[in-house]
Amino acid sequence: MKSGQTLIFDADDTLWANVIFERVIEDYLDWVVHPTLGRAQVRTVLDEIELANTVAHGYGSRVFLRTLGDCFARLNERPASPAEEAQIRELAAALAEHRVELLPDVAETLDQLGSRHSLFLLTKGDPDEQHRKIDASTSATISSTSTSLRRRTSTLTTR
């Protein structure tokens, strides 16, 4: 019987490793070239654009892809060509696949906690992307049913 306690988890970096964005950023920084800025300076430009875009457009792979394109345009003082846009999409392809790797012992821990407590998953980002991550996690304890919170970039998912 459940104790009536409610546990809320932030999924990214708590239940599964969210390293795909960092891998894409590293690949992007390897690819993009600037004649005067070093890698760290390009990363600073990317981070500034990412912050502005998440405030304006929320989270998710589509917004992140936009960030990569916006960064390219700022660094090169021109929009990306169709070939360059294709290369940016290719660099970010792993994001569209929503690969999720549960951290060690997460499934078993959630099953144990779920037998005693009500579990809620708090996520931010595109609801469809978050549902695919949850489905890919294969944890029976987390449901793919969601309720939106007042903050437009957040989703509450329960079982």
Split at pLDDT 50, 70, 90, the class of 150 is very low
Q: How high is the pLDDT of residue 99?
A: 64
Query: pLDDT band for position 108 (50/70/90)?
Result: confident
pLDDT at residue 149 is higher than 50:
no
Q: What integer pLDDT is reported at residue 103 of this predicted model? A: 82
Among 6-20, 58-72, 81-95, 105-119, the minimum mean pLDDT is found in: 6-20
Output the DSSP codes for the chain: ---S-EEEEE-BTTTEE--HHHHHHHHHHHH---SS--HHHHHHHHHHHHHHHHHHH-SSHHHHHHHHHHHHHHHHTSPPPHHHHHHHHHHTHHHHHT--EEPTTHHHHHHHHHHHSEEEEEEES-HHHHHHHHHHHT-TTS-SEEEE-SSTTEEEEE-
Q: Which residues of 94-122 are buried (b: 16+ CB within 10 A; e: fewer)?
A: bbeebebebeeebbeebeeebeeeebbbb
pLDDT digits (tens, 9 = 90+) for 10-40: 777 677 777 788 889 999 999 998 999 999 9
